[in-house]
A and B are shown apart, each in its own frame.
Chain A
């Protein structure tokens, strides 16, 4: 394939190189961190339902474990390339490092299309994957999690196979398990709450009281629902929420200038985060265009839907009143929009940091599983608060100190942490 093709791993490396330049990282550390520590490629033979045997290709990439066991999902994907998996493993390293949890980065997968597989066949793939990898993974080496096309069910099959091979119970081997089978409480709230914990700290920095702020949120899935809940609990007022309308196949913004409460909005929302337009009208919501959420005269914008939602064309419409953008979604802002946001002097909490509540909660799941003792939800969430606050402050301080854009600061801090761990261990 031609070199100039889009390649996720090359992109991740370029990103790393830029940060490494800023950090003036030495060559051996650069070389170490530019590539994964270990890569496993293996074959998984599976007896199919029709009696034939098919061989599936499996991967596991352990990018870096200087800070602790690798952590990262297992993807089922029909045309998985090792380059994608390598890039994702590297990003996992930085993601764990930015919140300062003692885990490294990993990622794995199997080339397959679950649409063409029965559940039994998928179970065989999961068990086959573990049989091949059992000696190289485990609660103390590498901890898998659900990812594209894999779910709690797949994790339980893998856990069961692992425990069978090891002849003992190791609930900390894998995360993403259901509550009651080694899962953690608070997972549903974690990401949304995490966004607001960092938002709260950002407001503190800007010396604004949450009670005096208004916000507009894009999306009404898990993240935005709990962000809305916690933010209003802090005294803030959400006046606009946009959401996808499955029936009309388009999004709408729902505005209520007097303020939206979590309970009210959730009462007219279906389980996919779709808001009932008629009921909303009755409750006094204005129903506006999909893009209206970004144009509101608010202090805070929380894009918490999909990637590439804040673009050059709509970033110009952001009100001058907006002071903070907290990225609840993954990659909601395009590079062009980033420039506009910088020019406008808006304080940005990058996705990397803002939505790290999820990975932090996975870490908690693993900790609880390892000691086989499970916390109450409040305990999970208060520990989450502690970690998110600390992470925000570290990034923010670096940004101020070095006059860096928050996005760059977050990236640099995580690379520095990993590099430091490698050095401390005497690797480079």
Chain B
């Protein structure tokens, strides 16, 4: 046997052992959770399950001692080869598990036992401890009930029963209470008590301190034995105090005692979360009656708990301490998966949700609207879980990943995912996850990251790490594996290039990033093979996309879709969510039948349980398939009947498929949903002191809150600074009405349609030509680097004197759409607010700004717009007459390299555009969902290199290619991680060969897309966007051909093989 194969053998053997251990843990878990088995039967089953987890089951024997009982595995016999793990409950030794080998075996880590086996045994002991505690608490509850029953009959003397109970359950506390009773009697000047105290105190005290655990053993005393001592105090108590008074005192002392332990533990940073939780649990169990603790202890304790479980951030703590009770923590700790040493925190997302849900819970009183507001069952893993995961798998070196070159990080990222997915979790975590799964049941789950950095930088971090859906179907073991797989992948995303790059740019690399995990039940219902909520979405306190001047910023905004909320959370390029301003629900974005149809959601995200995956479905297809079974269908759809939309009444009839439109009309009109969301937003904003951003879902009955965070932390809608010191000659315009927040990239070109000249155009044809010219410019000018400024209403269709007749595709590359309302006499025209293509603007993050140049206090540098060099004629020779109407200004050219910067601040309702030097910090790409920070150098350089490669490799003579050019973001060095590569191919004419070339390029496109995915994690369907132009096109300067040798933003030629 070669050493190599030997290694493999031993490896396989090790893996087998690991599998056996896991299997053993699972089966024990199953037995303990079995609702049918009696406690005793459970022990027997466990005893017999344990040998399977060890190397040599056939010679393994097990004994469990639990209290006074002991259980032994089949054919039990003792031997001297054994390992033992004690089971202690409430600090007392309650029992033990012992594993014996009946024969000699080779010496391993610890005698004949493996290190892992030792660990396994202590995990089982731990699990049993929990089980025993649970059983015990059942007994206690039972006993308490008996007491209650008794005290109802005869209240007199019932305190004795309470004291007796205490003696059984918590002897230490029992002692303390007795002492306090004695002191109380003394303070009340009961002579008998004082005498008794002086005669006994010194003696008992010392004994107690020496050996507090051995209460039950008789100790010889000078005067009295323990029993006598206790009896004396009790009988004095009965003699001198009233029953009610005694009960009340006992209760208070119990509470105070527990609290003091808790305060001590929580404030000590060495106490692990698990210990804190245990103390908290204990405290809570006894302090059933609340409001007994003094407020200052209580508040201090809440602050400490918030600090330990969530964050050190003072803002959060200040707010949260007013809204959470100890009780809330008690609910929380049962759903945390701890490892014994855990000192981590639960992370930003968890903190936000915890606070928000408790605020709402406490606001239900007086707000019946909140009655059905819930939070889905959620389990948490503290942030240091990831560290323990790394340590357990000896992967610590991955932490240093962040200091590598970004290219290297990119290359290695998908390996890291694989390594993580193939690593195992520490047994404590496995156990915890197993318990979590039992509690969560077999509903699909979402595993979300809850990072600590989110707290630090707020901002864009939220979208950086992964959230994963899992179907959670199959056997328990399969479900557990899928869950661990998902957690591993979310952990791996900490090391993905995107967030690391972001951190590097902001000097946050050295911040110790740890990531908490939230495991949340997905809200919804299973219909056929699909699982999904009735509807879901996001809601914001501040509306940054107002479609009417009547909508105020505080009216908020809801983006909602049918099915999973993923389609509402992200910006979509191929679909539209329904937008509603909860403060003005009757002012809808889309008014006409056609627009309502066009901008209604066409797709629904679901979890396909049959295929175990997340799936995007065609809405009509899904509704056709499941029809009326869709939860709350009547609230979601309208039926299009000819040119008329109706909300279904009662049941939906069979002609269901074609004419169904997702409008949420029923929900808005017939339910209190909008009112509820509005109230929730208002309450959360009021109580947290800041506008919020929530994520929600509904199963058709209840409203579930999934997430809550301050809206200001959403990077995209943070207000810009509003500088006051810009020299007047640098300002192009300023505005002070209807301002919405949103980032505008640096602007290099201004397109200005002069209102005066536009109104003077004589024929409809000329007016239409302006629209056409804008459409061409839109294709020629660098994407998202120009602004369009024009009179009145962009996109006018009928009366096009009101504004330039364009469709969305004529303006879709602009960074900002500006409507200028010049005063005519004493009348200022109404602006459209972009309503002709509003939802397209929203999804593409194209900002909208209304300008009122004639309003007091607004600057408007008309001279610059009218007198600067106008390159329109060179760009658009086909529209020679329009040069006086349409101005195109190359800003860096006329302003010595300066660009135009547009800053908007909705808090002050101010916007300003001014000339400024281009910033050195990297330009950002705002197109992708969320906000993606990029270092453009990497993205465009790589793309440019690839474009050069393609050009060098293509055979020009074969395909009749006369030249190749690169343009757009790759050429302009503004490409982001998801940008495509725009190639212009100059060919003689369209021939059959071109199809071949297209195929060849398609191959490149897909490969590049895959490479880009590996580099950046961005998925695209093909990376190349190829445009073909012929000689004729170049002569006529039609569309793309105009880019060749263009005056501004010309396409860059690529070196090719000699044709």
Q: Is the interface of B mostly helix, strand, loop or mixed?
A: loop
| Given A1-B759, A78-B802, A78-B830, A151:B767 Cβ within 8 A | no
Nearest chain-B residue to A3 (Cβ)? B762
Q: Check A118–B764 contact: CB distance below 8 A.
A: no
B643 within 8 Å of A (CB atoms) = yes
Partner of A117, one of B587, B598, B763: B587
A164 within 8 Å of B (CB atoms) = no
Q: Check A115–B812 contact: CB distance below 8 A.
A: no
Q: Check B808–A271 contact: CB distance below 8 A.
A: no
Q: Check A118–B598 contact: CB distance below 8 A.
A: no
Q: Check A77–B798 contact: CB distance below 8 A.
A: yes
Q: Check B765–A183 contact: CB distance below 8 A.
A: no
Q: Check A6–B574 contact: CB distance below 8 A.
A: no
B736 within 8 Å of A (CB atoms) = no
Nearest chain-A residue to B798 (Cβ)? A148
Q: Check A272–B644 contact: CB distance below 8 A.
A: no
Q: Is the interface of A mostly helix, strand, loop or mixed?
A: loop
Partner of B658, one of A1, A78, A121, A271: A271
Q: Check B762–A151 contact: CB distance below 8 A.
A: no
Mask for A307-339, Cβ within 8 A of B = 1, else 0?
010000000000000000000000000110000
A247 within 8 Å of B (CB atoms) = yes
Q: Check A178–B550 contact: CB distance below 8 A.
A: no
Q: Check A114–B591 contact: CB distance below 8 A.
A: yes
B195 within 8 Å of A (CB atoms) = no
Q: Check B586–A176 contact: CB distance below 8 A.
A: no
Q: Give the residue among B549, B573, B643 with the most A Cβ atoms within 10 A.
A: B643
Residues on A with C-beta less than 8 A from B640 are 271
In whole angstroms, what is the CA distance A81 to B792 when docked?
15
| Given A115-B833, A148-B798, A271-B640, A247:B574 Cβ within 8 A | yes
Interface residues on B, range: 35 or more
B801 within 8 Å of A (CB atoms) = yes
Q: Give the residue among B592, B641, B644, B762 with the most A Cβ atoms within 10 A.
A: B644
Would you list which residues of chain A between 109 and 133 have a CB under 8 Å from chain B?
Answer: 113-121
Residues on A with C-beta less than 8 A from B586 are 49, 118-121
Would you list which residues of chain A between 133 and 161 have a CB under 8 Å from chain B?
Answer: 146, 148-149, 151-153
Nearest chain-B residue to A245 (Cβ)? B809
Residues on B with C-beta less than 8 A from A153 are 644-645
Residues on B with C-beta less than 8 A from A120 are 586
Nearest chain-B residue to A151 (Cβ)? B593
Q: Check B799–A77 contact: CB distance below 8 A.
A: yes
B247 within 8 Å of A (CB atoms) = no
Q: Check A308–B768 contact: CB distance below 8 A.
A: yes
In whole angstroms, what is the CA distance A44 to B642 when docked?
30
B435 within 8 Å of A (CB atoms) = no
A402 within 8 Å of B (CB atoms) = no
Q: Check B799–A11 contact: CB distance below 8 A.
A: no
Q: Check A79–B829 contact: CB distance below 8 A.
A: yes
In whole angstroms, what is the CA distance A146 to B768 when docked?
25
B835 within 8 Å of A (CB atoms) = yes
Interface residues on A, range: 35 or more
In whole angstroms, what is the CA distance A120 to B597 when docked?
21
In whole angstroms, what is the CA distance A270 to B619 when docked?
11
B547 within 8 Å of A (CB atoms) = yes
Partner of A116, one of B587, B592, B808: B587
Q: Check B642–A270 contact: CB distance below 8 A.
A: no
Residues on B with C-beta less than 8 A from A116 are 548-550, 587
| Given A78-B802, A271-B597, A149:B592 Cβ within 8 A | yes
B450 within 8 Å of A (CB atoms) = no
Residues on B with C-beta less than 8 A from A8 are 764, 799
Q: Give the residue among B548, B766, B812 with the most A Cβ atoms within 10 A.
A: B548
A168 within 8 Å of B (CB atoms) = no
A5 within 8 Å of B (CB atoms) = yes
Q: Check A176–B829 contact: CB distance below 8 A.
A: no
B905 within 8 Å of A (CB atoms) = no
Shortest C-beta distance, A212 to chain B (Å), equals 29
Mask for A233-250, Cβ within 8 A of B = 1, else 0?
000000000000011011
Q: Check A179–B762 contact: CB distance below 8 A.
A: no
Q: Check A152–B833 contact: CB distance below 8 A.
A: no
| Given A78-B802, A116-B550, A249-B809, A152:B643 Cβ within 8 A | yes
Residues on A with C-beta less than 8 A from B464 are none
Mask for B533-572, Cβ within 8 A of A = 1, else 0?
0000000000000011110000000000000000000000
Q: Check A6–B798 contact: CB distance below 8 A.
A: no
Residues on B with C-beta less than 8 A from A5 are 759-762, 801
Would you list which residues of chain A between 73 and 94 have a CB under 8 Å from chain B?
Answer: 75, 77-81, 84
Residues on B with C-beta less than 8 A from A118 are 584, 586-587
Would you list which residues of chain B between 577 and 609 have a CB under 8 Å from chain A?
Answer: 584, 586-587, 589, 591-593, 597-598, 602
Residues on B with C-beta less than 8 A from A4 are 760, 762
B349 within 8 Å of A (CB atoms) = no
Nearest chain-B residue to A1 (Cβ)? B759
In whole angstroms, what is the CA distance A247 to B658 when docked?
20
| Given A49-B586, A272-B597, A6:B802 Cβ within 8 A | no
Residues on A with C-beta less than 8 A from B548 are 113, 115-116
Mask for B798-820, Cβ within 8 A of A = 1, else 0?
11011000001100100000000
Nearest chain-A residue to B600 (Cβ)? A271
Q: Check B597–A6 contact: CB distance below 8 A.
A: no
In whole angstroms, what is the CA distance A49 to B581 when docked?
15
Q: Check A188–B642 contact: CB distance below 8 A.
A: yes
Partner of A270, one of B573, B602, B797, B798: B602
Residues on B with C-beta less than 8 A from A371 are none
A2 within 8 Å of B (CB atoms) = yes
Mask for A242-266, Cβ within 8 A of B = 1, else 0?
0000110110000000000000000
A187 within 8 Å of B (CB atoms) = yes
Shortest C-beta distance, A257 to chain B (Å), equals 16
Would you list which residues of chain B between 145 and 192 have a CB under 8 Å from chain A?
Answer: none
Q: Check A152–B642 contact: CB distance below 8 A.
A: yes
Residues on B with C-beta less than 8 A from A79 are 792-793, 799, 802, 829-830
Nearest chain-B residue to A2 (Cβ)? B760
Residues on A with C-beta less than 8 A from B792 are 79
Shortest C-beta distance, B770 to chain A (Å), equals 11
Nearest chain-A residue to B641 (Cβ)? A178
Residues on A with C-beta less than 8 A from B642 are 152, 178-179, 183, 187-188
Nearest chain-A residue to B594 (Cβ)? A272
Q: Check B801–A6 contact: CB distance below 8 A.
A: yes
Residues on B with C-beta less than 8 A from A272 are 597-598
Nearest chain-A residue to B878 (Cβ)? A313
Shortest C-beta distance, A191 to chain B (Å), equals 13
Residues on A with C-beta less than 8 A from B550 are 116
Residues on B with C-beta less than 8 A from A246 are 598
In whole angstroms, what is the CA distance A79 to B802 when docked?
7
Shortest C-beta distance, A266 to chain B (Å), equals 10
In whole angstroms, what is the CA distance A400 to B801 when docked?
38
Residues on A with C-beta less than 8 A from B597 are 271-272
In whole angstroms, what is the CA distance A151 to B793 when docked?
22
Q: Check B760–A149 contact: CB distance below 8 A.
A: no
Mask for A214-248, Cβ within 8 A of B = 1, else 0?
00000000000000000000000000000000110
Partner of B830, one of A2, A113, A149, A176: A113
Residues on B with C-beta less than 8 A from A178 are 641-644
Mask for B515-531, Cβ within 8 A of A = 1, else 0?
00000000000000000
In whole angstroms, what is the CA distance A272 to B659 when docked?
11
Q: What residues make up the interface of A, taking CB atoms closer than 8 Å to B?
A: 1-2, 4-6, 8, 11, 49, 75, 77-81, 84, 113-121, 146, 148-149, 151-153, 176, 178-179, 183, 187-188, 246-247, 249-250, 270-272, 308, 334-335
For this complex, 8 residue pairs linking A to B, each with C-beta atoms less than 8 Å apart, are A6-B761, A78-B793, A79-B799, A79-B802, A116-B548, A146-B643, A151-B644, A272-B598
Could you list 18 further interchain pairs (A-B, Cβ under 8 angstroms) beyond the known A116-B549, A149-B592, A179-B642? A5-B760, A5-B762, A5-B801, A8-B764, A11-B764, A77-B799, A84-B799, A113-B832, A115-B591, A115-B835, A178-B644, A187-B642, A271-B597, A271-B620, A271-B640, A272-B597, A334-B765, A335-B765
